[in-house]
Structures are given as structure tokens and as C-alpha cells.
Amino acid sequence: MLNLRPEFRGKQLKGTQIDLVNSSQTGATQQAAKDFLEITYPTRDVLMGVEAVGPHQGRCIVIKGERGLGKSHLMAVLYHTLTDQQATRDWLQHWAQALAQPGLASWPLRPQTVVIAESLQHHKYKTLWDLIFDRHPQGAQARARWDSLGPLKKTQVPPTELLEELFAAQPTALILDEFQTWFDGLTNSKDKEYLWKEWAFNFIQNLSETAKNHPEHLVLVVSIRNGESDAFRQIQRVGPLIIDFQGEQAKTDRRRLLLHRLFENRLALAEAAIEPQIATPAQEYCRLLNMAPSEHQQQHQDFLEAWPFAPSLLQLLEDQVLVATSAQETRDLIRILASLYKSRGAKTPLLTAADFRLDDDTAGIAALLNSVANQHHASLREKAQRNIQAVRDAVPAQQTPHLAEIMGALGCGRLQSGIWPEPTPRSYKPTSPGMSR
């Protein structure tokens, strides 16, 4: 009933990391707009960005967040929005109907614009003006004019007036991914002859002020990890729109994004088709937690929206396991859940933490451990496996039919606490006929 997207069907899961441009021509901006928008769910943050690059908008855009939250994906969406109006209009019309938000279908889009998009972590450019002069259709002429000023009049950084004339000649959108990473990596030469960081700081001011004063000529979009960079503080002076993937709506959107990114048809399934899969688990969940009857309907709806995953599983991964420093939020969630569904999706109507089989590398546990990975977590798994074997050695198999599932569910919680006791075979001896610890 569910169809995984092609990139998740093979034996080896493809990475979900987004690169705007790369040498193999597979970057997000090098794909057809229709294909890239097909895998894009219109979260609140995505729609906020699309609206902000529309006509008659006047603010720089700062996309803020740590690794793996979707900053690069959003920047690629903005690129396609600015370069392919028809594909963008078709995408908005589809979601206007799917989300029952008819206003999306008539959103105004900025006329086709020169778009310069670059993943700055590749460090192909020492200065931003070289990037602009190389990529803008009028860039060569602007560089020549600046050079023609001669050593006495030429400034170390292209002046604002030159930028204003360049972008007025042909309106431009400048999309700079990993902006903070690039800026923080700049240094000034020891002899102070080349003040790369100082020059970049001054040029960022020129760019941001140009974008603020002439939004019809320049759209400036940058991504940063946090607000601790001078590069961000310089742009902050002009009052940018900050998209930071925070808030309760962002959390709800992330779950729908996960399902849309993983499956070709999940969001198209009617609730009536899902109901038989979740009715009993949802009812038992409420009973075991002794929930008030008034809360049952909301829990039932949570199960409907999260299927084929239990909402408790998604909560566990988001709030406990993925707090590990190496985990990358949405990116790792997609890989973990794809691996889990491939191994267990056909065997159970609802995937829970019990489906992370500690004794089976194909059951998603390998992807989970790789996401939180350090040697300590690997040792926890080894202890858990020894516990499983100790139980099997001490207790007849028919008395522990769900041993692997129970230990898998316990294992996910133990990853967060970082504690798993060593096996003690004596503790597994049956205390009475038909009973075992």
C-alpha cells in the first residue's frame, strides 16, 4: 500500500544531504524544478520563504539552524521558485487543493530573475564579489569598471554604487548556503596585506543594505548555524526575516515532511485505509497509560497522522535519541525510518521501538546507531545482545516469544540514558512454573 521513494528502495540507502551545486551535476539546483518540488512538503517555513522572495517584498532572508534541519533544501526551493514559475505554480496549485488552502494557488511570484546560488563550504571563492562578477551577466563589465578606477581611487571592496547599478541592470537573487561556515573560516594575512575577513565583513554590509534599499533589484538569502557570527550580526542590522525551524507548528510540519519525503503516496492515503492498522494500538495505548476519555480522540488522530510509525516512536527519536551531538535531526530521521520500514514494514501494521531488533542489522538499528554513533553507544548494543543471549540460555524460547521486540524497545531508551547493566544469568531463572524475569 505504501511506496517508498526510489532512493530508499536499494540495499544501500542514499544520503539525503542537500548540496546546491556540485561537480557531478546532481546538486539540488541542477535538478529539474518539477522533480525537486515533488519531494518538497510545504511546511510553514518553506511557505514563509517562498512568500518572502515574491514581488514587493523588502527583507533579506536568514535561514538559521544546526545541521540537518533542512536549510539547504529550503534554499533550493527558493532557487527553483525564482527560476521556474510554471513548476512552482503547479506545485502551489497541487498543495492548495491537498491542504485545502486555496489561497496558495494565487500567490504572486517574482518575475524570472538572475539567480546566483553557491554552497560556500566548498571555498571556491575567496570573496563574494568574485562570485557575483563571475556569475552575473553584467559582472565582467562591473569588474572592469571597478578595476579602471586605478590604484589611487579603487577601494578594497566594490562600492555600494557599483552594486546598485549592476543589480538594477539585471535584477538578481543571491543565495549563499553555509554562509557562516565560509565567513568564520576567513583569516587576515599575518602581514595585514590581505584582510580577507575585514573585507568580507564590509562587503556584507554593502550587500545587505543594497538588498534592503532596493529589494526589487536584489534578493539576499543566507544560511547560518546560529547567531554567534559577525556575518550574521552585520545582516541583522537591516532587520532580516529569520526562518529558524522552531515552534510547535514546525514540529508538526516535520512529521508530515518525513512521511512525504519517505513515501510517494503516504499523504494521498485516505484515513479509512489507515484506520484498521491503528485502531487497536491506539486504543491499547490509551488504556495502558490510563488516559482520560477526553484525550482518546486526540491520541487516535496522532496515530492516524504518524502511521506507519507509532507517534511514541517518532517522539522517542526526536526527543531522546537524536539529542546525540552527531545526529542531524530531520536528515538522520529520514535515514533511520527508511531503514526500519524496509526491514519491518511488511511484517507489522504499526512500527514501534520494538521493531529496532538489536540482533538484526537490517532492522534499522544500524542506521540508528550510525546517527548517534560513538563507541559508547556501540558497547551498549553489545551488552544488550549479551542480555538477549543470556535469557535464551536460561529460559525456554516458548516462554519468551517476544524477547527480541522487548529488548529492542528497551534498547532505544537505553541509548538515551547511556546505561545498560551487564547480563547476570541467575536473574533469568524462572521464579515459578511458566514465569520468568
Q: What is the pLDDT of residue 216?
A: 93
Domain end call among 203, 222, 243:
243
Q: What is the pLDDT of residue 316?
A: 80
Residues 366 and 225 in one domain: no
> Given a cut of 70, is residue 298 above it in pLDDT?
yes
Between 162 and 70, the higher pLDDT residue: 162
Residues 114 and 212 in one domain: yes
Residue 263 is assigned to a structural domain of this protein: no
Residues 332 and 224 in one domain: no
Beta-carbon-side half-sphere exposure of residue 344 (alpha carbons within 13 Å) = 25
> Given a cut of 90, is residue 208 above it in pLDDT?
yes
* H/E segment holding residue 329: none
Residues 135 and 233 in one domain: yes
Assigned C-alpha cell, 18: 542537500
Residues 104 and 210 in one domain: yes
Q: What is the pLDDT of residue 410?
A: 63
Counted domains in the chain: 2
**Which residues, 6+ apart, have CB-to-CB distance to 16 below 8 Å?**
7, 261, 331, 334, 335
Q: What DSSP assignment string belongs to 116-146?
A: EEEEGGG---SSHHHHHHHHSTTHHHHHHHH
- Per the prediction, the chain carries an average pLDDT of 83
pLDDT by residue (tens digit) across 19-47?
888 878 888 899 999 999 999 999 999 99
Residue 219 is assigned to a structural domain of this protein: yes
Between 166 and 401, the higher pLDDT residue: 166
Domain carrying residue 169: 6-243
pTM: 0.80
Nearest-CA neighbor of 411 among 359, 373, 375, 362?
359
Residues 51 and 170 in one domain: yes
pLDDT by residue (tens digit) across 409-436?
666 655 554 444 555 544 444 444 443 3
Residue 437 is assigned to a structural domain of this protein: no
Distance CA 408, CA 285 (A): 18
Check if the beta carbon of residue 52 is closer than 8 Å to that of residue 60: no
pLDDT by residue (tens digit) across 266-277?
988 989 999 999
**Residue range 229-252: mean pLDDT, rounded:** 85
pLDDT by residue (tens digit) across 44-69?
999 999 999 999 888 899 999 887 77
Residue 369 is assigned to a structural domain of this protein: yes
Residue 102: CATH number of its domain:
3.40.50.300
Residues 236 and 382 in one domain: no
| Residues comprising the chain, all counted | 437
**Other C-beta atoms within 10 Å of 333: how many?**
25
Domain end call among 243, 274, 289:
243
Q: Which residues of 342-358 are buried (b: 16+ CB within 10 A; e: fewer)?
A: bbbbeeeebbbbbbbbb
pLDDT band of residue 130 (cuts 50, 70, 90) is very high
Domain end call among 209, 228, 243:
243
Residue 283 is assigned to a structural domain of this protein: no
Q: What is the pLDDT of residue 97?
A: 93
Q: What is the pLDDT of residue 325?
A: 45
